[in-house]
Chains A and B, each alone.
Chain A
Amino acid sequence: MIPLGFLLLLRRPRRLLPAIGGIVMAVAIMLVEASMLFGVLEAQARMAELVRADFVVMNTLRLNLQDGSELPMIRLAQVAALPEVARVMPLYQSEVALRSRGDADRADAARRPFRRIVVFSFSPEDDPLRIGDRAKIERSIKTPGSVAFDRDSRPVYGDIGIGSNVEFGNRHWQVSGLVEIGPDIINDGSIVMSSGNARMRDSAIMGAVRLRPGTDPEAARQHILARLPPDISVLTPAELRLREIGYTLRAVPIGILFGVGMVAGLFIGAVTCYQVLFNEIADNLKMYTTLRATGFSDGFLRRTIVEQAVLSSALGFVAGSVVALAICLYIARRSGFAVWLSPTYGAVVFIVTMAACAGAGLVAVRRVIAADPADLF
């Protein structure tokens, strides 16, 4: 036989729909908040994921990837001289004001606004970043006057593609290639160019270090730290990523902002579920009390109410996930952040929603347990 709780809920659409509606909203809020939070954190730490190296060497003062503290080139040379190191690839970073010239006439192009953009520079022979086809990137930035544009940049720069003309640093440049980097909270987009074109200074933002095959990474790290002055830090890309996520959570109240939203969503769902079950019990108190009078246990009644709570939360979760997916796709398209639903977030939200609704059911059922079956006579 179908569980009593399922039957009681499924056969009353007027009760089922409000129950599910509240939970849909709660689940959608929680999933979107979680996806946005992790999307922002991943965006802030994206550079760490893009580095194609065993280690990253940076100035110890550079506590996060937004910080511009640079590393003297002499340090990279010292690292490169160590026997464990196969190669060190300097990466330079700066900011410029860019505008697209597009196909507009000279007068119209001149009226377009400049927008801030990050510039990453490295030698065309190096491939310190996992941002696209290496050969294509090398070809596109080797040519004097050419740059590669991040296709994942926010659309604030206008319609820029291969062959487009852009202007920054009082010069005109041609976009000869495209890369995939992505924006973050602060930066709307990026371009990549040759360090020769950029005429970089004697310092770099980081050095991407590749070790010789067969080298013990940790031993190599300790050797680097022992041989060089204490003004450098040596991190794996994974460590850099975690450090950046931790810094973002500490420095910016983003965790609290999104966390409050998630808790609020959970609260809405639990309260809605409780209210629906409370009304269900109030409307059928005599029926539930009759079950107790005739010998059904309190545990059976709790199970019946919790069944309704669980069914509501399961159906609400499915519908809420669909809503959340649609919202996340919209936000991702508009913001450029990788806002997406992952199975892990989904599983956590599912468990939390179930637990909250079951808890609401157990609170609501107390009214039945407290009712005196003798009052039926």
Chain B
Amino acid sequence: MQATGIGYTFPPAGERRPVLFDVDLTLARGEFVILTGPSGAGKTTLITLIGALRSVQTGSLRVLGRELTGLSAPEQRQIRRQVGFIFQEHNLFDALTVFETLSLASQLYDVPLGRAETRSRIEELLGALGIADHLNAKPRELSTGQKQRVAIARALINDPPLILADEPTASLDREVTGTVVGLLRHRAEHQRATILLVTHDHQLFDAADRVVTMIDGRIAQI
């Protein structure tokens, strides 16, 4: 990912509000980067631009070998299919089991997978996250931490080359946090997945290759 001169202004009704100012940031393939900074620093806006959830207004943003500036909505959606999003809330359908949730997500995989292979991938991933026994459980049968791990599994099921995470461990205990961070590190090292993780948890900083701090819409420290 390479961002050059990225600027973004929110168009709330009646007043335009700049939130990003001339942001330059490069993430190498397989790099694990933490993005931190005070609230309102522009971290979320930057991550939504990188994930093609918003359209680039000024500057250049290349993600996974593609320039995002000027992309249409369908083209942005194609980019997002290669990104693993881990949101702060799990946003699971309460009517679907863990297996069904992950099967649904696996429909976005580039190559159609057979049932057996899909099941195998799901079981392996849930095992890595420590929730293999909850394959047929529905969200109401899971704890908050377990639901978040399902959401993390959903983001990783298709082996995305780029993972964007917003406080993914906020609802997890220390032990599970370690498991999740270890899994992400494994992805970065062995699958060369690029990871950009937004967090205020300083205890995660040691796991990252680099920590980027944003203040008032600008990169303050790399």
Residues of A within 8 A of B (CB): 1, 4, 7-8, 11-12, 284, 286-287, 289-290, 292-297, 372-374, 376-377
Q: For A376, what are the chain B residues with a Cβ–Cβ distance below 8 Å?
A: 53, 85, 87, 89, 91
Contact in complex: B95, A12 (CB < 8 Å):
yes
Interface of A is mostly: helix
User: Which residue of B has the minimal Cβ distance to A283?
Assistant: B94
Most chain B beta carbons < 10 A, residue from A12, A376, A377: A377
A373: shortest Cβ distance to chain B, in Å?
5
Contact in complex: A287, B108 (CB < 8 Å):
no
Distance A286 CA – B89 CA, assembled complex (angstroms): 9
Q: For A11, what are the chain B residues with a Cβ–Cβ distance below 8 Å?
A: 95
A1 touches which one: B93, B103, B105 (CB < 8 A)?
A: B103
**How large, as a class, is the contact surface on chain B?**
20 to 34
Interface of B is mostly: mixed
- The answer to the question of B31 belonging to the interface, with a C-beta cut-off of 8 Å to chain A, is no
Most chain A beta carbons < 10 A, residue from B47, B77, B155: B77
B137: shortest Cβ distance to chain A, in Å?
13
User: Which residue of A has the minimal Cβ distance to B87?
Assistant: A376
Residues of B within 8 A of A (CB): 44, 47-48, 51, 53-54, 74, 77-78, 80-81, 83, 85, 87-89, 91-93, 95-96, 100, 103-105, 108, 154-155, 166
Q: For B100, what are the chain A residues with a Cβ–Cβ distance below 8 Å?
A: 1, 7
Most chain A beta carbons < 10 A, residue from B77, B91, B100, B103: B91
How many A-B residue pairs have C-beta atoms within 8 angstroms? Tell me.
Answer: 62
Contact in complex: A295, B91 (CB < 8 Å):
no
Distance A11 CA – B140 CA, assembled complex (angstroms): 13
Q: For A7, what are the chain B residues with a Cβ–Cβ distance below 8 Å?
A: 95-96, 100
Q: For B92, what are the chain A residues with a Cβ–Cβ distance below 8 Å?
A: 287
A295: shortest Cβ distance to chain B, in Å?
4
Q: For A289, what are the chain B residues with a Cβ–Cβ distance below 8 Å?
A: 91
B203: shortest Cβ distance to chain A, in Å?
22
Q: For A372, what are the chain B residues with a Cβ–Cβ distance below 8 Å?
A: 53
Distance A328 CA – B108 CA, assembled complex (angstroms): 50
Q: For A12, what are the chain B residues with a Cβ–Cβ distance below 8 Å?
A: 95
Q: For B108, what are the chain A residues with a Cβ–Cβ distance below 8 Å?
A: 294-296
Distance A292 CA – B103 CA, assembled complex (angstroms): 16
